[in-house]
Amino acid sequence: MNAFLRAMPEDEGPSPESSTGINWDNVLKTIETEGEEYTDECGNRVKSLYLGSVLSLSPSGKYYTPYASGNVEPEEAEADQAWYNAVDEEAAIRGLTVVPGEGDPTDLIVLKVLGTDENPACERDKQAAADRHRPHL
């Protein structure tokens, strides 16, 4: 089991503080102690941490693209989109961002910006690149 998922009995829904099933307290503690620190292409100091694979975290357990999504039913796509939106919101509340992996887009990486270089154009480009990897309905 993924260390960042909350253990829940089958008859219980997600905890009130997380509709995604992610244990954000554990993510925050782990990124502080084990996160990889680096300077990104915009000059920001960042810590990153592997959250897990969309294949084990998302409701459908599938990875798909807008141009080849025949393996996903519309209900699955809607559930996945709602899950991605909730992940983004829950992460943002905690000052985190979740992005796909650079080498493997099925990987989800948590980022925590430690210090910024205040380059808005660079940040917009990075967000646009991250958005391209999200499923689209």
**93 part of a folded domain:** yes
**53 part of a folded domain:** yes
More confidently predicted of 102 and 27? 27
What is the total count of domains within the chain?
1
pTM of the entire predicted model: 0.77
**17 part of a folded domain:** no
The 3-state secondary structure of the chain reads CCCCECCCCCCCCCCCCCCCCECHHHHHHHHHHHCEEEECCCCCEEEEEEEEEHHHHCCCCCCCECCECCCCCHHHHHHHHHHHHHHHHHHHHCCCEEEECCCCCCEEEEEEEEECCCCHHHHHHHHHHHHCCCCCC
**86 part of a folded domain:** yes
**33 part of a folded domain:** yes
Which residue do the tokens 């690149």 mark?
129
pLDDT value of residue 15: 45
Structure tokens at 27: 């993510």
pLDDT (tens digit per residue) in 44-67: 899 999 999 999 999 999 988 767
- Domain encompassing residue 57: 24-131
- Single-letter amino acid, residue 107: D
**81 part of a folded domain:** yes
**79 part of a folded domain:** yes
Question: Does the pLDDT at position 1 exceed 50?
Answer: no
Alpha-carbon gap, residue 22 to 46, rounded angstroms? 21
**7 part of a folded domain:** no
pLDDT (tens digit per residue) in 79-137: 999 999 999 999 999 999 999 998 898 999 999 999 876 666 676 666 665 665 565 44
